Structure 1
Amino acid sequence: MDFSGQSVIVTGAGKGIGRATARLLAERGAEVVAISRTQSDLDALVAEMGGGRAIVADLSDGKAAREAMAEAGPSDFLVNCAGTNVLQSLLDMTDDGYDTVMDINLRSALICSQEFARARIAAGGGGAIVNITSIAGYRGFPDHLCYAASKAGLEAATRVMAKELGPHGIRAMALAPTVTMTELAAAAWEDPAKSGPMMARHPVGRFAEVEDVARAVALLLSEDAVMLTGSSLAVDGGFLSV
């Protein structure tokens, strides 16, 4: 999986899955354009990658998302990793919580995909999009109401992207990780009373690490996956299967 001579835009690249994905693809030769809202995170990432470009943007703002994609310019691949969570139940859901999750997890991914696809089509087509979703789009977890809705929505949108963009040679796939040990996940799963029973439901006996997800992203972007589009890959250690 050599990406030399190819470029990739990674949103949410400052932390977690996005950061691991940017780092791995850079190691495999890709020219990475990293988008995140925190300059210090991006500075550290570029130093780790030994190059690449960094764009500071708050993708929850639709206008800022479009401007960031315009600054990024045409690229071969897009990985939508930007995400957040507000832990609220149905009974406790607030308008602010809903807007925060949906603006980042769903709307920003749609905007970035739209701008990426427009640029790819103008350049003659080809390329691929990977949208990071979640097993929360398949199973109901308490206090994950808006998060689950956003991720299930993004997976459904991925199928539409595959249908509409296929004639232009652009593939679109969803990648649904299980609990992945990021700062975001720690807030939801740090209590052993909650994480223990959840981990026990994984045949591999552990949660995912960010590198596990990054390697799966690389697979979906690679030439080994040229017939994969419109599908979702669960990186879940067997959780959804048992």
Structure 2
Amino acid sequence: MSLPRTPSFDLTGKRALVTGATSGIGEGCAVALAEAGAHVTLVARTATKLDAQVTTFASHGWDAKALPLNIADVAATEAAIADAGPFDILVNAAGLARHAPATETAETDFDAASDLNFKAAFFLTRAVAKGMIASSKSGSLINISSQMGHVGGIDRAVYAATKHALEGMTKSMAIEWGPNQIRVNTICPTFIRTPLTEQTFAHPERRAWIEEKIKLGRVGEVSDIMGAVAFLASDAAALITGTSLLIDGGWTAD
């Protein structure tokens, strides 16, 4: 009797590019892919942090290299990706948030958030896809979005708008590149404990509001994202494209 077999989660031989790779969610995603066997190119703006990260990866027996890059510089990004690629996997975890009431949002903050969270993500994803298509490679493109790509939030009009844009971009790219066997998805976390979010968790009222909205009653940890990114990058997710994996503890369930 023949039984179905579980597709492989193994990423041995795959080349992955991870942005925002020196801290928080990006670091966790890079570790998850390296643990699964991928060669990981780590991208961030600060070369010294990247070099330290590569050394740490090597101490664990993981294959990694550094690529110092500001992905908001579209021309530099396209040139760097063309030179370093082609890749099999992209995880774009670079992003920023400058929360403020809509009536008090500065134009400079609007531009900074939209330029990195949406514009840079668009051209980075396109650059990696171009390399895949030119080399006839299938692959998995993963953008780290947010639960705020599906709901709204107080003081988050700009941030939520950039993530809603990212969700629409992902669906459209998935349709366009599906015939090339290139999958495009987002991961949408709730509040994850990282150095950038500690300031929010330090306010008892804000933390209480967050924990009340998360049905599982706790904030997220970076480890909550790692299994999801390894899954979406692997053959186990071979029929998943144009969708969002919400890791929100039930925030958006109601």
TM-score w.r.t. the length of structure 2 is 0.91
Quote the RMSD (CA, aligned, Å): 1.3
1:1-242 aligned within 5 A: 1-50=9-58, 51-242=63-254
Where do 4+ consecutive residues of structure 1 move more than 6 Å?
Answer: none
Give the drift of 1:65: 2.0
Give the drift of 1:98: 0.8
Runs of 5+ consecutive residues of structure 1 not aligned to the other structure: none
Give the drift of 1:127: 0.5
Q: How many residues align?
A: 242
TM-score w.r.t. the length of structure 1 is 0.95
Please tell me whether Structure 1 or Structure 2 has the larger radius of gyration of its CA atoms: 2
For residues 226 and 81 of structure 2, the distance between their equivalents in structure 1, rounded to whole angstroms, comes to 21
For residues 197 and 211 of structure 2, the distance between their equivalents in structure 1, rounded to whole angstroms, comes to 13
CA contact (8 A) 1:14 1:45 kept: yes
**SS of residue paired to 1:91:** helix
Give the drift of 1:195: 1.2
One-letter code aligned to 1:59: I
For residues 240 and 208 of structure 2, the distance between their equivalents in structure 1, rounded to whole angstroms, comes to 34
For residues 140 and 117 of structure 2, the distance between their equivalents in structure 1, rounded to whole angstroms, comes to 19
CA contact (8 A) 2:32 2:229 kept: no
Give the drift of 1:47: 1.7
CA contact (8 A) 1:17 1:210 kept: yes
For residues 83 and 196 of structure 2, the distance between their equivalents in structure 1, rounded to whole angstroms, comes to 27
Q: Give the 3 Å change call, closer, same or farther, for CA 5–26 of structure 1 in structure 2.
A: same
Give the drift of 1:39: 1.8
One-letter code aligned to 2:14: Q
